[in-house]
Structure 1
């Protein structure tokens, strides 16, 4: 039964152990994304307002809650490359758990509260990362992405390109989809760009090309 004496143990897990496990999880995604040619990799630890940036790592106000990584769409777009990226987080959590268990069994580390909490919550991370489910906001869990890819539903990684183009004769701005079909027409470029961002974000992985032919936004699938 959970008692008063367990509160400090809970706080230790919540404020120290869980963030460490989260960082290891994102490191697994990042390693495979980097190996597959991803650019502009960012790791976000926590939620809320950003408070500190260390290299590619952004630490947010509530550093103990949530985490994800972002990167521009990878060079290698085949199924296996994406399976490796989305399984990397759970793989790192599993390997780090095995490493801690072996270190304890060989008396290199002392068995205690920290090692227990680390192994327990690492396996918790592995389970929920690989559970195939759809999160609020349209994100797939890592397990859901892997399952869809194993089912050969490669549309989940097929990049879509949305374009904002000016129709000179009418002085209108058009948003075109990846089949070059019209989505909507606007009087102002900024309104067209806003619509393009909305559609591209909903149909990740995707990118937006402006009227000059330059990529202005990139929306990869986000490993969580």
Structure 2
């Protein structure tokens, strides 16, 4: 699971940083005025805040598992990013940004909880260090990635399609995790009636003889209580 979590950080972080660096230029290319395009980022924070604070509650309350919520979040991102090249005009760009902000906000808050759940709290410092070491050189290449589409291709449309494909692969990885977890739950079987009775008898034996020191004159009385408890259990 460490590799799944690491790939999640790399792909999601790359998408988030590239989008925030290019959304203003993208809106201008789609016919939005500069003043209106700059205002997209503050408006972006509205649904981003909702995604950070409210959407993760679905997993905290137990309605869905965290792996399922992660899968839905990245699938949502992939669909919206795929729709970005199709928008025209300010209001369509604004609607696309608001739709994308919610899964981005959810993904930002979900990543630490996913790492803690699948890797353990004790391994968090080491895990963050390894992921940061791998992510650093890759994130340095972001200006070249953006510049290629800006200077050579002349449009961000295909760039958003590539970003959408990466997030879709991420959603597929978490779909595999969801299937694996569901199979493990189906494979678990409750204990049989005989095993349950054995556990109860063992529990009585433990409470009757917890291993604490006793006075010599109370040994007979304690043993008698144990036999009485065992007799009640067998009946």
The TM-score bracket by the shorter chain reads under 0.3
Higher RCO, Cα 8 Å, sep 6+: 2
Compare CA radii of gyration and give the structure with the larger one.
2
Structure with the bigger percentage of strand: 1
Q: With structure 1 as the length reference, what TM-score do the two structures score?
A: 0.28
